[in-house]
Amino acid sequence: MLPEGVERFIRSPREEHFEEVALEAFAFQFSRVEPIRRFCERRGSVPASVASWTEIPAVPASIFKSVDLFAAPPQAVFDSSGTTQGDRRSAHHHPFLELYRTVIDSSFPAFCLPRGDRPPMLSLIPKAELAPESSLSFMVDHVLETFGAEASVNAVGPRGIEPATLRSWLGARQRAGTPCFILATALSLHQCLEVLDRLGLSFRLPPGSAIFETGGFKTRTQELDRAHLHDRVEQRLGLSVANVVEEYGMTELTSQAYTRTLLGGAEGLFVCPPWMKARILDPATLDEVSEGGDGLLALFDLANIGSALHLLTEDIARKEQGGFRLTGRATGAELRGCSLTAEDLAQGPLRQAP
């Protein structure tokens, strides 16, 4: 059912074939996802007329909050965490979970395990059985199962991070002296550090150890300071920011972008795998900005063939060195108040003290 070219490209990408596979994927999606077909027809962009993937109309990711998009019967429905626009959550009806696994297998090791090893892993992200609606939990479960050594554990229970598991795993890794790997969101990393603060524990994780960090730094109730968080990671775990790989992912996507920190890349500079293309668009014209320019981040993800290939995110990013750097976020429209310019009083009590 799935066009062969897509999976083949993800397993063995050859840039010169990208355009051809992208157009094949568009034709597939056009024929199977009715809302996409209608949208593209209104835009005058149909498979017969589209000559390049950049001409395929980009769908605002916010549409996932109100329209179900799927090219085949969904095998899972992933929901957004809903930190914004509280009353509406994105739902990604995913019809191709095997393709999702292929994406993880083809990208995660390249960015996160560059030595090709299989380290013991600690997940600070709930298992899928606790959070079946979370695409991140799906991904992390698969990573632990596929790339984690036998001593890998998930330290999140129904009531959050389990201090005993955390303490025992970190202690064992410190004693073992071989590299290990931690998977966390910024918030769960913060919670982990709070647990260690409470226990009064610090560890020196072995050289070569690394952290996978994803998710924003702002929640409904607090805004984390990234530099401060990483300082605390260094104090409590003995890992510097150079050991932290950031991941950029969205419920509405199947693929992820990563920083190349473990390969000597710059901190905060995201790079897409070969089957996902990022463009930074001028919001006024939707033309691509030039190098160094800021704009609306658009992502074309071949692996999103089951829903919407081309997405307009709500993120503002800067085009830089073949990748992108996040510079802001335009969360959905909110009520105006005599308060629009978020009076800085708000930020004081909400931001973690540096």
Q: Which residues are near another protein by CB under 8 A?
A: 35, 38-39, 42-43, 58-60, 62-63, 66-67, 87, 283-284, 286, 294-296, 312, 314, 316, 327-330, 332-351
Give residue for tokens 């260094």: 234
For residue 248, the minimal CB distance to another protein (Å) is 17
* C-beta of 42 vs 198, nearer to another protein: 42
* C-beta of 237 vs 312, nearer to another protein: 312
* C-beta of 1 vs 284, nearer to another protein: 284
Give residue for tokens 């605002």: 60
The residues pairing with 218 across neighbouring beta strands, listed in sequence order, are 223
Please give the helix or strand (H or E) that residue 251 lies within, else none: none
* C-beta of 31 vs 222, nearer to another protein: 222
d(C-alpha 123, C-alpha 156), whole Å:
7
The structure tokens listed for 285 are 């014209």
* C-beta of 171 vs 328, nearer to another protein: 328
For residue 106, the minimal CB distance to another protein (Å) is 30
Supply the DSSP symbol for 287.
Answer: P
CA neighbor of 169 nearest in space, from 183, 159, 158: 183
For residue 62, the minimal CB distance to another protein (Å) is 6
For residue 64, the minimal CB distance to another protein (Å) is 11
CA neighbor of 243 nearest in space, from 133, 68, 113, 61: 113
User: At CA 327, angle to CA 325 and CA 330, rounded to 5?
Assistant: 125
Q: What is the DSSP string of 34-81?
A: HHHHHHHHHTT--TTT--SGGGSPPEEGGGGGT----SS--SEEEE--
The amino acid occupying position 266 is A
* C-beta of 34 vs 197, nearer to another protein: 34
| Residue 225 CA neighbour count, 13 Å, CB half | 12
For residue 187, the minimal CB distance to another protein (Å) is 17
* C-beta of 11 vs 38, nearer to another protein: 38
For residue 307, the minimal CB distance to another protein (Å) is 13
Backbone phi and psi for residue 24, each to the nearest 5 degrees, phi listed first = -65, -40
For residue 286, the minimal CB distance to another protein (Å) is 7
CA neighbor of 203 nearest in space, from 242, 175, 226, 184: 175
